[in-house]
Structure formats: C-alpha cells, structure tokens
Structure 1
Amino acid sequence: MPGVTCDGIPGDPVSGFPTSPVFCQAVVMPRRSAEETRRLILDNALQLLLERGVSAGVQHIRLQEVLRSVGLTTGAAYRIWADQTDFHRDLAIEMVKLRIAPPVTSASTAIKDVLAAGGTMDDVIRAAALDHVSYAARFHLEPESRQSHAFITALALRTAAGAWPELRAASIERHRESVEAFAQMYGELLPRYGYRPRSPFTYLDFAEAMAALGEGFAVRAAEGLDHPVYTVTEDDEGPAGEWTLFGLAIRGLVEAFMIRDTPPDHAK
C-alpha cells in the first residue's frame, strides 16, 4: 500500500536483501509478470555491469542499486531470487549470453576491403589481426565502447565459470557458437588462397586454436598491456611488412594447420 515503509528493519530475514525506506516504500506502478520484472532488473543490471566492467565477478553490481534505477521494491526482487547470490548468478549468465553483434562481424568487416582489392593472404592476416588487437584495446581506450566491454566482460566471467554449473554451461555454449561461426568463415576464406586443412585437422580445429590465441591476447589487452608491433623489412628473415604479434602468431597457425596445394583464387 502507498505510504507503508519498513523503517527500522535492517534486512529481510528470508531473502537477505538489504532494506531501507528507499526500497521498501510501496509505490503505485504498472503490474508486471515475474518474467517481465526479471527482465527489467537484469537489463538495467547489465547496463551497470557494462559501464563498470568486471570486479570480483559481478558482486559489485548491487541489486538494491538496480532496483532504485528502475523504481522497484525489494519485494519485486525476492519474488524472483532467493538472495543476492541467486541474482548475481543470473546476471553473470545473462552477461555471458549477451552479444552486441555476431561473432565474425568485426573480422569480416576488417578484411572486406582487402579481399575486394585482391590482397594477399598476409594482407588478410595483418588486417584481421590488427582489428582484433584494436577491438580488445578499446576496453581501455574507449570506455564508451559497449561492444568491446561486452566481449572482455564476458571473457572475464568465463574464466571463473567453474563456480556455477549454469554459468559454465552458458560459457560452453558461447564458445561453441563462436568457433563454429569462425570455422565456417575460415572454410570460405582459406580456399580462395589455395589452402585446405592438413590431415587429420579440420577448420574447426583451426578455429579452436585461433580462439585460444585470440582470447589470450584479449586478456593481455584487458591487463592494459601494449600490443607488440614489428616492422619487418625485406632484408630481415621474417615476413616483410607491418605485423602485430598476434598477426605473426596467426601466420604460424596457418602454416601448422593448413597446406597450400592449389593456386590462389582470391580474385573471386
């Protein structure tokens, strides 16, 4: 009822949620289903998490702060979650599931012009690698980059997925979606340059190795470390050109997993 508060009660003994007049004040508002309320709270909690990033998991996103931002009471929350731990588990799972764009969008866009211009395989590798390095670095360089924050935050949560079986399952599913999408991309791209997988490997195997490599460099970027870049001249023993360390590592993986046995047809 309007005007009723729970002053003097430090916390709900059942839910464990903190209470105060701010949250316990009953207000007149549209009636929502439990799922609509859950979605509203989690969407706003995700916004806070994207703005602040990961710190001690998601525990720094306080439910009471989210409730305040959407004008809801603690009662609305503990009809859905038993306590803060349940809420944080749900929030972490939603964060891992969140994608701002399909997995291959950024890489596909980065190499589009190179392919159109008939660039070499090294040109494609350099462009794709630089895109990934720049993408991960935006976590620090562009705090407003929602897409980069979503990627790094989800990656950070996946590294701690063992704590909750549901989070581990969501992490495995996200990984599966990503490597399958990239395996399809590699299966379309590499034959244009005359490459096929060496036996007994597959494009999926190559995608798994690339994912591990790319995520490792993303963690490095999240630590705020500058990415090494090399200018290799024609007089050097390495491949000539401007290379990121990630690009050189990709080149090594291509050599290990792929064999070139047909002339390149990248003019298609």
Structure 2
Amino acid sequence: MGRRTAEETRRLLIDAGLQLLLERGVSAGVQHIRLQEVLRTVGLTTGAAYRIWADQTEYHRDLAIAMVRLRFAEPTASAETAVRDATSMDDVIRAAALDHVTYAAQFHLDPGSRDSHAFITALALRTAAGAWPELREASAARHAESVAAFAAFYAELMERFGYRMREPMTVRDLAEALAAIGEGFAIRAAEGLDHPVYVLSEDDEMAPTGQWTLFGLTVRAMSDAFMVRVAATDPGEELSAGRGH
C-alpha cells in the first residue's frame, strides 16, 4: 500500500473523530474528542496530525464542520416514507409529525441509531456555530439545503391534495417555519423530555380526531395561516385538513 496523501490522512482522522463523536453522543462535544485518542484508534503518530492542523483547536473546528455536513440520508427521506400512504392532509400532518418526534427520540431510545445521533449532534453544534466563521457557513449551508428539500416536498404534497399557499407567503416560508418548530421539538428530545400525545374525539367536524402528537397539532393549527384550497371559490377560505381532502 502506498503512502497516504495529506488529504487522505486528514479524511482518516476526521472520520475516526466522527465515529467517536457519534458513539459518545452530543453531550461529549467536539472538545472531548482528543486528537491523541483519535491518532491511537487509527495507528498514527502525533506528527501525522500536526502536519495538517496547527493545534487541537483547529482539528476540533474541522471535526465540527464535518459533523454538521454529515448526512446518512436525504433530508426528506424519512418523512416521505411516513406519508407514502396518506389519503388526506390530516394524514400527512399526523404521520409526518409522529415520524419526526419518533426519529428525534431515537437519540435516547436507540443508541445504535446513527441517523438520529447524527441529526441531534449536528443540531447541537449548529446552536454553537458562533465559535467559528467556518462552522457558521457550514450550518447555514445545511439549513438552506434542508429548507430547499422540504419546500419541494411540501409543494408536491399541496399539489397532491389540492392546496396552495396563502399570499403573500411562499412554500419556503412554510418550510422555514416548520423547520424552526421541528428543530425546537428535536432539542426537547435531546434533553430527554417526553413528547405529549393526545387522543382526540371532538364532535366538531373542523377539529382533528384520533391520536396526535403536540407537534402534529401545532403544524395543523399553522395550516390555516399558510394554505388555502385550490378549489375554494372564496380566496379567503381557510384550510380544513380534517375534511379529508
């Protein structure tokens, strides 16, 4: 085997650091991933690292950036699977919301869930992105990528079930709002807080029925502010997802 290039060595050490970070979880933080330990795991000497980084702080910066950029699947992959069999907008909202809170909760419930650990760890690092300009840039890029993916996903769902955005809001506005709320509930999951679930049996035809997460009810309540039916004769007619359209 030929000698590694500097870039190959850098990638090896970053990948080893990411593995340690995912194993230990968000509470460890990049500062607890010691470069000496990373070097031991891959069988390299100190000199190999310090030919790439001036000090451990530089390594931590690059490790944090790599963690924020890390994805094991497309941003909408889990949600798309969750709503595949939905027959109404209520079904979409309820299923997608349940999928999100379940996914975030895997951080505590399933130590082997690398997707959930990667999501929560990246989210935690993004909240502290002010430490390094490069980390802020990586965080902004990840956010923009996710919002664009979800905006396209929401647009497809609205077309499928006969809705449009209420002017002057755009589908990107909807994606931004739902991202903020979804990330907030994900932080609650990272804190180990239970997510409220309700079983509703309301007689009002405008109200949701069945089992709903708090996140799902929040998203449903937002729908009236953002969406209207395409077929509505009155441009101001509000969304009523519960009618099964």
Q: TM-score normalized by structure 1?
A: 0.84
| Pairs within 5 Å for 1:179-190 | 179-190=147-158
The question of whether the paired residues in 1 share the 8 Å contact of 2:21 and 2:28 is answered with no
**Within the alignment, does 1:38 sit opposite 2:10 as a pair?**
yes
* Pair member with larger Rg: 1
1:56 deviates by 5.9
SS of the equivalent of 2:168 reads coil
Aligned amino acid, residue 137 of structure 2: A
SS of the equivalent of 2:71 reads coil
Query: What is the alpha-carbon distance in structure 2 between the residues aligned to residue 30 and residue 88 of structure 1?
Result: 28
Q: Structure 1: state its 5+ residue gaps.
A: 1-28
For 2:107, the equivalent position in structure 1 comes to 139
Query: What is the alpha-carbon distance in structure 1 between the residues aligned to residue 213 and residue 168 of structure 2?
Result: 29
Aligned amino acid, residue 135 of structure 2: L
Q: Structure 2: state its 5+ residue gaps.
A: 233-240
SS of the equivalent of 1:232 reads strand
**Within the alignment, does 1:172 sit opposite 2:144 as a pair?**
no
Which has more helix, going by share of residues? 2
The 10-residue stretch of structure 1 (240-249 or 56-65) with the greater mean CA deviation from structure 2: 56-65
**Within the alignment, does 1:225 sit opposite 2:197 as a pair?**
no
Q: TM-score normalized by structure 2?
A: 0.91
For 2:238, the equivalent position in structure 1 comes to none
| Pairs within 5 Å for 1:1-268 | 31-55=3-27, 57-114=29-86, 119-235=87-203, 238-262=207-231
1:30 deviates by 5.0
Query: What is the alpha-carbon distance in structure 1 between the residues aligned to residue 202 and residue 30 of structure 2?
Result: 49
Bigger RCO (CA 8 Å, 6+ sep): 2
Query: What is the alpha-carbon distance in structure 2 between the residues aligned to residue 30 and residue 193 of structure 1?
Result: 57
The 10-residue stretch of structure 1 (209-218 or 229-238) with the greater mean CA deviation from structure 2: 229-238
The question of whether the paired residues in 1 share the 8 Å contact of 2:35 and 2:56 is answered with yes
SS of the equivalent of 1:113 reads coil
**Residue by residue, what CA displacement relative to the aligned partner does 1:167-193 show, whole Å, maximum 9, x if unpaired?**
000000000000000000111111222
The 10-residue stretch of structure 1 (134-143 or 245-254) with the greater mean CA deviation from structure 2: 245-254
SS of the equivalent of 2:84 reads helix
Query: What is the alpha-carbon distance in structure 1 between the residues aligned to residue 175 and residue 201 of structure 2?
Result: 30
Q: Calculate percent identity across the aligned residue pairs.
A: 72
Aligned amino acid, residue 164 of structure 2: R
1:261 deviates by 3.1
The question of whether the paired residues in 1 share the 8 Å contact of 2:21 and 2:29 is answered with no
Query: What is the alpha-carbon distance in structure 1 between the residues aligned to residue 199 and residue 68 of structure 2?
Result: 37
1:233 deviates by 0.5
Query: What is the alpha-carbon distance in structure 2 between the residues aligned to residue 261 and residue 112 of structure 1?
Result: 22
**Residue by residue, what CA displacement relative to the aligned partner does 1:58-117 show, whole Å, maximum 9, x if unpaired?**
101111111001000000000000001000000000000000000000000001122xxx
1:234 deviates by 3.0
Name the Cα RMSD after superposition. 1.7
Aligned amino acid, residue 85 of structure 2: D
Cα 1:30–1:66 change in 2 (3 A) is: farther
**Residue by residue, what CA displacement relative to the aligned partner does 1:4-35 show, whole Å, maximum 9, x if unpaired?**
xxxxxxxxxxxxxxxxxxxxxxxxx8521110
The question of whether the paired residues in 1 share the 8 Å contact of 2:26 and 2:117 is answered with no
**Runs of 4 or more above 6 Å deviation:** none
Query: What is the alpha-carbon distance in structure 1 between the residues aligned to residue 231 and residue 45 of structure 2?
Result: 66
Query: What is the alpha-carbon distance in structure 2 between the residues aligned to residue 200 and residue 238 of structure 1?
Result: 26
The question of whether the paired residues in 1 share the 8 Å contact of 2:198 and 2:212 is answered with yes
